[in-house]
A = this chain, B = another copy of it.
Amino acid sequence: MVKGNQSFVFESKPVIISSATVGGPLEAEGPLSEDIDILHDDPYIGQDSFEKAEKLMLEQAATKALEKAGVSKYDVGIFISGDLINQIISSSFAARTIGIPYLGIYGACSSSMEGLTIAASFVDGQKVKYVLTGACSHNNCAEKQYRYPNEYGAQKPPTSQWTVTGAGACLLASEGKGPKVTAATVGRIVDMGLTDPFNMGAAMAPAAVDTIEAHLRDLGIEPDYYDIIVTGDLGAVGHKIALDKFKEDGINIDEKKFMDCGMMIYDREKQPQVFAGGSGCASSAVTVYGHLLKKMREGHIKKMLAVATGALHSPLSYQQKESIPCIAHAVAIEM
């Protein structure tokens, strides 16, 4: 059902019957490692390129999610996935392996919640019984594509973020046990004119705020409706900007309940190389589909608004001196 200008509710409440996550070496040392199903200590994961390693992580997350639910891939109607690599080859090549009918999406780091929104729409409208949706990123792939290959050893400013190496997938069904997808808000592009690819958090923060405010307005609820409102990858810099903006707009958000996946997935004191925190499609995919859904299943969180944030620029648009258009998609998940 339509709610306001940007939101809608899923009357049938599609259920996340299972989810699974995969992480790389740095994620294995981070505070959420216990909630990551498969951990790798080799960034190549035995493959001959980082791109193939990224694809493999997505395949593993997808396969693990199916296995946990005991659902055969032949019963899944659609696989929806996105990633950061040009032409989203990690997703498309994983879809080749998995063999489920496939819809590729591109929302940069907002892909996880974009995928979950589309998946919920198909399940809610009874188009298919099961939809599998995932997202992935790999530090070495993203750095070389967007900034500099890690091997160059280029210095980074403290506003920079660390692309998460990992993948997450979840399986949606029309019925079953688990957290339910109850509503979604599709984001508009917000572009404040920023151009620095080493400060994505600042660029994305206004988009996160715009979507969260639209969500609250459209559904006629206050922030304290949710036990947690979590952004995808604002990092410490963007998180603070978002909090300041809420204050400015008179939106009363409890600072303890407003969290960021990019700040949760690493320990910035013990892992200083991540600077302002994690980023990438896997930041929200691993944290939400792993750690946070587990907290929901265990009863620690009842209502969550997951807001994945994306910077929709490209190396080419940056070279052509364009600013960075940003977006955020919010999905309400309730037990």
Question: Does the CB pair A51–B320 fall under 8 Å?
Answer: yes
One complex includes copies of this chain to the number of: 2
A74 within 8 A of B: yes
Give every chain B residue within 8 A of A122 (Cβ-Cβ). 121
A169 within 8 A of B: no
Interface-forming stretch among A21-29, A100-108, A219-227, A263-271? A100-108
Question: Does the CB pair B325–A92 fall under 8 Å?
Answer: yes
Give every chain B residue within 8 A of A126 (Cβ-Cβ). 1-2
Q: How many residues in A have their beta carbons less than 8 Å from beta carbons of B?
A: 60
Nearest B residue (CB) for A118? B118
In the complex, which of the residues B8, B87, B127 contacts A86, with contact meaning CB atoms closer than 8 Å? B87
Q: A106-B106, A121-B122 are in contact. Are A127 and B8 (CB under 8 A)?
A: yes
Interface-forming stretch among A150-158, A184-192, A195-203? A184-192
A10 to chain B, nearest CB (A): 8
Give every chain B residue within 8 A of A315 (Cβ-Cβ). 86
In the complex, which of the residues B85, B102, B117, B316 contacts A188, with contact meaning CB atoms closer than 8 Å? B102
Q: A2-B128, A78-B186, A127-B2 are in contact. Are A96 and B320 (CB under 8 A)?
A: no
Q: Please name 7 further chain A to chain B contacts, defined as beta carbons within 8 Å, in addition to the given A86-B86, A103-B186, sorted by A numbering.
A: A49-B320, A77-B186, A84-B87, A93-B322, A102-B188, A104-B105, A121-B127
Between A and B, 7 residue pairs with Cβ closer than 8 Å are A8-B128, A85-B314, A89-B314, A89-B317, A93-B312, A102-B189, A105-B105
